[in-house]
């Protein structure tokens, strides 16, 4: 594309940075999608998490999403409030009305992708709040203790010796993303139900 003396072309490319094909490119579209997401998850969403949703899914870049959200706050379509010790975006009646009126102007695939990503965020958040992965330095490596809590006794408590902190970190993240897969895999392995283990691994991939 041509770049004029003012660098408009460069600025445009900056706005598009990180946006996948099919992502949103206009301020209007991103505003409507923000309202749409908040309408369908039916709960406040942390400011950082909502912005990261656009970036992580390639729907819009950080600048576009943050700018659109700030404009929506100023126009009264969303509000900022506290929830569990952090700042969250909440949809107002005006924002809900706008979402209901204009959300279908956005591609269905983008709407579904954004709402699915938001729901996954809250699932991961819930899992991380109720499960633990603790690292402790040992003489010959690092001990990683994985715990799945329950109402009574812990559902699982497993300690593994690992060579370094990097490996601990990778396993920690996989465990916290879906601790029940780990639990079922351990039980299936110990009981000899290897067919179940194979099915679990296929699901993870």
pLDDT in tens, 34-93: 999 999 999 999 999 999 999 988 898 888 899 999 999 999 999 998 887 789 999 999
**How would residue 11 be classed by pLDDT, with cut points 50, 70 and 90?**
very low
Using an 8 Å Cβ cutoff, are 79 and 55 in contact? Answer: no
Stretch 180-189: mean pLDDT? 83
pLDDT at 52 (0 to 100): 92
Give the model confidence (pLDDT) of 131-158 as tens digits: 888 999 999 999 999 998 876 788 889 9
Q: What class, spelled out in words, does domain 19-128 have in CATH?
A: mainly alpha
Domain boundaries for CATH 1.10.10.10 within the chain: 19-128
């490319």: which residue's tokens?
A: 13
In this prediction, residue 42 carries a pLDDT of 93
102-121: string of b/e by CB count within 10 Å (b at 16+)? bbeebeeebbebbbebbeeb
Pairwise CA distance, residues 21 & 169, whole Å? 32
């Amino acid at each position: 594309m041509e770049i004029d003396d003012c660098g408009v072309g460069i600025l445009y490319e900056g706005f598009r940075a990180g946006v996948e094909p099919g992502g949103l490119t206009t301020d209007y579209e991103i505003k409507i999608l923000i309202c749409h997401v908040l309408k369908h998850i039916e709960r406040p969403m942390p400011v950082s998490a909502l912005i990261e949703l656009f970036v992580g899914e390639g729907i819009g870049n950080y600048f576009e999403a943050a700018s659109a959200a700030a404009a929506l706050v100023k126009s009264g379509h969303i509000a900022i409030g506290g929830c569990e010790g952090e700042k969250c975006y909440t949809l107002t009646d005006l924002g809900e009305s706008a979402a209901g009126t204009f959300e279908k102007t956005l591609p269905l695939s983008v709407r579904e992708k954004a709402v699915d990503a938001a729901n996954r965020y809250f699932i991961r958040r819930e899992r991380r709040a109720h499960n633990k992965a603790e690292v402790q330095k040992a003489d010959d490596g690092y001990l990683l203790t994985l715990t799945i809590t329950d109402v009574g006794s812990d559902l699982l408590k497993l300690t593994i010796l690992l060579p370094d902190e990097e490996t601990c970190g990778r396993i920690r993240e996989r465990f916290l993303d879906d601790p029940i897969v780990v639990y079922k895999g351990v039980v299936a392995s110990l009981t000899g139900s290897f067919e179940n283990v194979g099915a679990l691994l296929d699901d993870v991939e």
